[in-house]
């Protein structure tokens, strides 16, 4: 029964964006969008527009329009999209660099700085309808350390991954994805919502990579072995590809938003592009850093099962369900060649390390090798009855394959069978071959995964796509440790008893050896005596012949010697029998001793073996305890990070709210000022009209004044003339009176 590990799933949902979230495609429905028109323009207008506006471009920089900010000033760009550390303007307004802005003032308030920072990090949206384009710093850092060959130093291996599965089930589903590192002893196995990483030499679980997007269908290591690309999703629902760092387990980027599961995915050797394909029959190429679609190739007429970049990055090969096999130009998306020959589904593709040869595996049962320079088939061989599901090159040109005959096979570069690996119970769906071709793994329809040394197909290890939880492994290790400890105690007791019996037998053997030695010495002495007596008998027989006279005495003497000789011979026979019996006893005791020593040695060896098993069980138990502690620590770190992230989000929300309030207040003040300005403008217009009328009146008055002045001058002239005429008349009258007398004046009047 499928069981989800709750707290790990919680950590997946709540952990920091650098670990699990898709930075290249942020969730705009949850993230507060900061845009120029609504949030940033009022800040720049308040603090910067007096010196940097379209009407007053100091240093040729205008900050009162989006275009002006993007254009920069006389020294170039002032804001770098997605990069606050590379934005000169941000450094100046935070007083991180001189000249401080605004000049001769404190830095602008922190909430406004935070808004500017968020706006830059979100890709500088212009208005509420603009999309957030957050920069993927992890992808940028990863791309800066790309290696097209073996990386310097030790090959990349997991360093800080948890060994806790996301999903724990009684049995694994059919194995749909496997891969091997090109440089490290590392095997990746796709499971349910997770990928498990195993040491290819020991079969040890090194870590679990969560894939909450669904089922992994494609696993590909980068050419330098530092990252793993997981393609997959949920059938008829969604699909994507995620790039993960092998050492830390951190997610680097996520691309694709398919309406169906991704069946094939690969990353270019320089890591700049990620290609995905599946039931849509379309090959889509994404920019790794931005996650944006760069190319779409539409030529396949059926589901695409296989996709692979050439190691030099020049070509991209794809294969489909209707035996279509197309090779594209990787940079342009144009068709390089179409390869015909397969009569069944093309299930798997891989390039040789030199990029000159492409291997294709098909359900027609064959593996075909294609020359990319001549664009033609150079080799075809029947590999698996019923069909080939998976094919993979090693660095040395060897080929591993898996097929419906439940076999995993290893071939040399000429298609000659080198080894065959058995033991899978159903159709072999996936194969993984380490870069050095030293280890090969296969997975079948029943979810069984086996790992073999390439040199010895009989040495097999079993690994699983959905490993047991740390708690279960801890329980199993504890039970195994207890059982082995009991076995060790029994073995130690048996070894002690055997040692005691061997010691007793050794003492008995020493006594028997001593007795045998004594009897042997007596046999030697009696043998020497017998030889001496025999010599004497010979001498006496000679004397008998020579000394007939002394016959009686000699016979008597001979009889005595003969008697002694017979006695000695009897004694010798007895001693010989005893010696033989003793030697047989010694041999028997020696045999018993040897058997008991062998038994003691075997018991000791068994005890030592069980002791080693106990040590291994203890190590497994200790490892499980350490894994549990690491998992607890990881959980605590993730919870702490989640709390900090939540606090940071709340702080930002508060800051945004404050800024919104400030913006609203500023808008209200601006509206009030606008109203007052409109009233003043209206008054100004009225005054200007009155001024115009007054000006016109003044001009008319000036004209009238000029006219009146002229009239006045003329009247003055007339007055002067009249006065002169009157004076002349008066003078004439006076002269007339003086001449004609007063009477003349009266008459004349």
Say if residue 15's pLDDT is above 60: no
Largest CA distance in the chain: 264
pLDDT average, residue stretch 24-45:
73
Choose one of 423, 442, 467: the last residue of a domain.
467
Nearest to 333 by CA among 359, 357, 306, 297: 297
- For the chain, the distance separating the N- and C-terminal CA atoms, rounded to the nearest angstrom, is 154
Shared domain for 426 and 498, answered yes or no, is: no
Q: Are 210 and 166 in contact (CB under 8 A)?
A: yes
pLDDT given for residue 281 in this prediction = 97
- pLDDT value at position 145? 60
Is the Cβ–Cβ distance between 312 and 269 less than 8 Å? yes
d(CA 362, CA 343): 8
For residue 650, is it within any domain? no
Q: Is the pLDDT of residue 18 over 60?
A: no
Domain membership of residue 558 (yes or no) is: yes
CA dist list (Å): 309 to 42, 50, 270, 358, 370 = 49, 55, 11, 10, 15
159 inside domain: no
**How far is the C-alpha of 447 from the C-alpha of 424, rounded, in Å?**
10
Mean pLDDT estimate for the chain: 83
Identify the domain containing residue 69 by its residue range. Answer: 27-133
* Token representation of residue 599: 């038994």
Place of tokens 């990787």: 330
**Token reading at 378:** 């150079």
Domain annotation covers residue 158: no
- Chain centroid to CA 283: 23
Range list of H helices, 3-155: 6-14, 41-47, 66-71, 88-93, 110-121, 137-143
8 A C-beta contact, residue 398 and residue 437: yes
Per residue in 281-315, pLDDT (tens digit) is 999 999 998 888 999 999 999 999 999 999 999 99
Same domain, 179 and 282: yes
190 and 294 housed in the same domain: yes
- Among candidates 3, 13, 5, 4, which has minimal Cα distance to 639? 13
309-334 pLDDT per residue, tens = 999 999 999 999 999 999 999 999 99
Q: Does 715 score more than 70 pLDDT?
A: yes
Would you call the peptide bond into 99 cis, given omega within 30 degrees of 0 as the criterion?
Answer: yes
Confirm whether 277 is domain-assigned: yes
Report the range of poorest mean pLDDT among 153-162, 174-183, 604-613.
Answer: 604-613
In a domain, 443, yes or no: yes
Ramachandran region of residue 371, left (φ > 0), alpha (ψ -120 to 50) or beta?
beta
452 and 545 within one domain = no
Max mean pLDDT among 232-246, 535-549, 659-673 falls in 232-246
Domain boundary among 133, 159, 186: 133
Q: 3-state DSSP call for residue 273?
A: strand
Asked if 72 and 177 sit in the same domain, the reply is no
In this structure, are 452 and 381 located in the same domain?
yes
Rg of the chain (C-alpha set): 54
- CATH code, 191: 2.130.10.10
For residues 694-711, give the mean pLDDT. 74
Q: Is residue 462 part of a domain?
A: yes
Residue in this structure with the two tokens 């323009």, named with its chain if needed: 41
Tokens linked to 699: 């001009």
What is the three-class DSSP state of 197?
Answer: strand
456 and 481 belong to one structural domain: no
**Nearest Cα to 254, choosing from 212, 223, 315?**
212
* Reported confidence tier of residue 246, pLDDT bands at 50, 70, 90: very high
Dihedral sign (CA 285, 291, 294, 300): positive
CB atoms within 10 A of CB 373: 8
- Token pair of 2, please? 């499928």
Verify that 296 and 346 share a domain, yes or no.
yes
Is residue 196 included in any domain, yes or no? yes
- Does residue 431 contact residue 401 with C-beta atoms inside 8 Å? yes
Same domain assignment for residues 353 and 441: yes
Residues 113 and 225 in one domain: no
686-712 average pLDDT score: 74
Which of 24, 43, 18, 21 minimizes the C-alpha distance to 123? 24
pLDDT at 642 over 80: no
212 vs 643, residue with greater confidence = 212
- At which of 133, 156, 182 does a domain end? 133
At 33, list the tokens: 């969008």
161 DSSP 8-state letter: -
Length of the chain: 749
Percentage of the chain with pLDDT > 90? 40
Question: Is 90 exceeded by the pLDDT of residue 447?
Answer: yes
Query: Tokens standing for 73?
Result: 């000033």
Residue range 187-198, pLDDT digits in tens: 999 999 999 999
What Å distances lie between residue 670 and 266, 286, 677, 682, CA to CA?
Answer: 55, 46, 10, 18
Residue 271, pLDDT above cutoff 70: yes
Question: Is residue 618 scored above 50 in pLDDT?
Answer: yes
Does 301 lie in the same domain as 263?
yes
The C-alpha atoms of residue 316 and residue 496 are separated, in whole angstroms, by 68
**Total count of domains within the chain:** 4
Range name among 41-50, 129-138, 346-355 with the lowest pLDDT average: 129-138
229 and 328 both lie in a single domain? yes
Phi-psi region of 16 (alpha: psi -120 to 50; beta: other; left: phi over 0): beta
Task: Kindly state the average pLDDT of the residues 443-447.
Answer: 95
């Amino acid at each position: 029964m499928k069981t989800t590990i709750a707290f790990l799933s919680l950590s997946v949902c709540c952990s920091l964006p650098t670990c699990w979230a898709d930075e290249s495609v942020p969730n705009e429905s949850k993230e507060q969008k900061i845009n120029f028109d609504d949030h940033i323009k009022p800040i720049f207008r308040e603090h910067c527009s007096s010196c940097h506006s379209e009407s007053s471009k100091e240093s040729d920089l205008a900050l009162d329009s989006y275009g002006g900010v993007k254009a920069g000033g006389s020294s170039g760009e002032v804001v770098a999209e997605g990069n606050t550390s590379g934005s000169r303007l941000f450094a100046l307004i935070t007083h991180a660099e001189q000249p401080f802005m605004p000049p001769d003032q404190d830095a602008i308030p922190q909430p406004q700085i935070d808004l500017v920072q968020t706006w830059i990090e979100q890709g500088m949206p212009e208005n509420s309808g603009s999309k957030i384009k957050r920069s993927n710093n992890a992808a940028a850092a990863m791309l800066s350390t790309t290696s097209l060959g073996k990386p310097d130093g030790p090959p990349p291996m997991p360093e800080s991954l948890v060994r806790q599965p996301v999903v724990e089930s009684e049995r694994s589903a059919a194995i749909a994805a496997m891969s091997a590192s090109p440089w490290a002893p590392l095997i990746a196995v796709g499971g349910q919502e997770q990928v498990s990483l195993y040491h290819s030499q020991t079969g040890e679980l090194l870590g679990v990579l969560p894939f909450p997007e669904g089922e992994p269908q494609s696993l590909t290591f980068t050419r330098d072995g530092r990252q793993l690309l997981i393609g997959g999703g949920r059938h008829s629902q969604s699909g994507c590809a995620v790039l993960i760092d092998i050492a830390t387990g951190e997610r680097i980027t996520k691309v694709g938003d398919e309406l169906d599961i991704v069946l094939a995915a690969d990353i270019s050797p320089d890591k700049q592009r990620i290609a995905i394909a599946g039931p849509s029959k379309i090959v889509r190429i994404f920019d790794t850093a931005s996650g944006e679609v760069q190319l779409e190739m539409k030529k396949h007429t059926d589901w695409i099962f296989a996709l692979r970049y050439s190691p030099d990055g020049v070509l991209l090969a794809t294969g489909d369900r209707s035996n279509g096999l197309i090779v594209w130009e990787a940079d342009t998306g144009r068709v390089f060649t179409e390869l015909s020959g397969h009569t069944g589904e093309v299930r798997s593709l891989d390039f040789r390390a030199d990029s000159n040869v492409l291997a294709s595996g098909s359900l027609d049962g064959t593996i075909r090798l294609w020359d990319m320079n001549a664009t033609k088939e150079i080799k075809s061989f029947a590999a698996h009855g019923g069909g080939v599901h998976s094919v993979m090159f090693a660095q040395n040109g060897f080929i591993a394959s898996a097929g419906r005959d439940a076999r995993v096979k290893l071939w040399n570069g000429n298609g000659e069978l080198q080894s065959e690996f058995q033991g899978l119970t159903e159709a072999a769906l996936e194969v993984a071959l380490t870069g050095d071709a030293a280890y090969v793994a296969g997975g079948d329809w029943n979810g069984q995964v086996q790992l073999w040394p390439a040199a010895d197909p009989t040495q097999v290890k079993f690994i699983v796509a959905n490993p047991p939880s740390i708690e279960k492994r801890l329980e199993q290790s504890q039970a195994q440790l207890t059982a082995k400890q009991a076995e060790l105690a029994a073995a130690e007791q048996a070894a002690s008893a055997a040692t005691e019996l061997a010691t007793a037998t050794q003492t008995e053997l020493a006594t028997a050896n001593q007795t045998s030695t004594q009897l042997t010495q007596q046999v030697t002495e009696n043998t020497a005596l017998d030889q001496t007596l025999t010599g004497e008998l010979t001498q006496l027989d000679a004397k008998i012949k020579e000394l007939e006279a002394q016959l009686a005495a000699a016979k008597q003497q001979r009889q005595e010697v003969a008697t002694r000789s017979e006695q000695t011979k009897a004694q010798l026979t007895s001693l010989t029998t005893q010696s033989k019996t003793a030697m047989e006893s010694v041999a028997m005791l020696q045999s018993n001793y040897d058997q008991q020593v062998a038994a003691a040695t075997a018991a000791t060896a068994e005890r030592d073996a069980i002791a080693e098993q106990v040590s291994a069980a203890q190590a497994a138990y200790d490892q499980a305890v350490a894994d549990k502690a690491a998992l607890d620590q990881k959980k605590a770190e993730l919870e702490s990070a989640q709390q900090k992230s939540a606090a940071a989000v709340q702080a930002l929300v508060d800051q945004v709210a404050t800024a919104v309030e400030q913006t609203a207040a500023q808008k209200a003040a601006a509206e009030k000022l606008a109203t007052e300005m409109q009233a003043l403008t209206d008054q100004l217009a009225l005054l200007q009209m009155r001024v115009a009328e007054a000006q016109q009146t003044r001009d008319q008055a000036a004209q009238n004044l000029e006219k009146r002045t002229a009239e006045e001058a003329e009247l003055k002239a007339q007055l002067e003339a009249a006065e002169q005429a009157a004076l002349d008349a008066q003078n004439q009258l006076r002269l007339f009176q003086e001449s004609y007398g007063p009477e003349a004046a009266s008459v004349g009047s």
